[in-house]
Amino acid sequence: MVVTKDIAIVILNWNGKTLLEQFLPSVISHSAEAAIYVADNASTDDSLRFLQEHYPTVKIIQNKENGGYAKGYNEALKHVDEQLLCLLNSDIEVTEDWLQSIHHIFKTQAETAIVQPKILDYKNKRYFEYAGAAGGFIDKFGYPYCRGRIFDTIEEDLGQYNDTTPIFWASGACFFIRKTVFEALNGFDESFFAHMEEIDLCWRAHNLGYITKYVGASTVYHVGGATLSSTDPKKTYLNFRNSLFSITKNAPQNLFVLIFTRLLLDGFASLKFLVQMKLTHILAILKAHGHFYWQLPQLLKERQLLKHQNTLESISNYYSIHSIVWQYFVKKQRIFIE
């Protein structure tokens, strides 16, 4: 008897044989109700041979090039028929029954389009992990933060976020989405390449009335930084550039005041890097701004198109606080409950 599975777990891989060796076994052991795919971004190591030899039941999708996270998934998901998609980083260990509560949400709440589980740190499993923690939010100036992680302050998991609750964005490290919604949103913005493309997607989803939720009954452990370290200036460049891209496309009215303020705040971030003598990161921010100015005409065209698609009367409630920078650095409020 053939059992029809409606969840697809899709792991994007690029030269990640070592990660597949370490983390794929937990995914296979605890995901009997899902079809498992590895989408390979034109790896040059022997990742595919390893999969074929040791995990022949895993379905392989071969992308023609390394288009990063955004294009990699956009291309791969064209070959997936299951209606519930789990985009899973290759450096994640899953836990027993991690899919059950999330599957239940999708089956019983038709209005929920995107879901994220609890993401804890693989290296220190008592603490939340930087990339997503207990669900993401965004402030008025486009700065993302999470329950359980604000800037560099990471909270210990004491059960304070064991709930199920609406959030603004779900982490791309473990990102569940209905296939129909992913297609309706035209997938990820490939100009992002990597980093913050999930925030952009969730923002577009929010502006169209879709609901994103965090499900604390499901837990995964994430290594983080396995592909690109936080100390790498390229990551600084992508984060600053892509944040400006997302704000320009999706933020509500008073765009140019918002962008001007954000550019000033980015200048203060550069001063912080200067004090730390991280000169390559200052150059990364300057490069990000230069690329943003270059792309601005195209971003404004996309903004106009997205504005026409908006079905909500107002999208002014896209943030939960005015400025996370002010709350964190000036008022010294370092954890989410504050």
**pLDDT tens digits for range 1-29:** 345 689 999 999 999 999 999 999 999 99
For residue 133, the model assigns a pLDDT of 98
Does 321 score more than 80 pLDDT? no
Lowest-pLDDT choice from 38-52, 126-140, 227-241, 256-270: 227-241
Please give the Cα distance from 55 to 49 (Å, whole number).
10
Region 40-69: mean pLDDT is 96
Please give the Cα distance from 148 to 134 (Å, whole number).
6
Region 247-259: mean pLDDT is 89
Does 230 score more than 70 pLDDT? no
Using alpha carbons only, give the angle 140, 144, 149 rounded to the nearest 5 degrees. Answer: 130
Does 308 score more than 70 pLDDT? no
Please give the Cα distance from 161 to 254 (Å, whole number).
34
Region 206-215: mean pLDDT is 95
Extents of the domains making up the chain: 1-90, 233-330
% pLDDT > 70, the chain: 93
**pLDDT tens digits for range 69-92:** 999 999 999 999 999 999 999 999
Q: Residue 306 — very low, low, confident or very high, per pLDDT cuts 50/70/90?
A: confident
For residue 319, the model assigns a pLDDT of 57
Superfamily name with CATH number, domain 1-90: Spore Coat Polysaccharide Biosynthesis Protein SpsA; Chain A (3.90.550.10)
Q: Residue 307 — very low, low, confident or very high, per pLDDT cuts 50/70/90?
A: confident
Share the mean pLDDT of the chain. Answer: 92
Residue 28: which residues within 8 A CB-CB, separation 6 or more? Answer: 36, 55, 57, 58
Does 315 score more than 80 pLDDT? no
For residue 85, the model assigns a pLDDT of 98
For residue 252, the model assigns a pLDDT of 82
Q: Which is more confidently placed, 210 or 230?
A: 210
% pLDDT > 90, the chain: 85
**pLDDT tens digits for range 107-124:** 999 999 999 999 999 999
Q: Residue 314 — very low, low, confident or very high, per pLDDT cuts 50/70/90?
A: very low
CA 192 to chain centre: 12
Region 203-228: mean pLDDT is 90
Does 42 score more than 80 pLDDT? yes
Does 226 score more than 70 pLDDT? no
For residue 338, the model assigns a pLDDT of 87
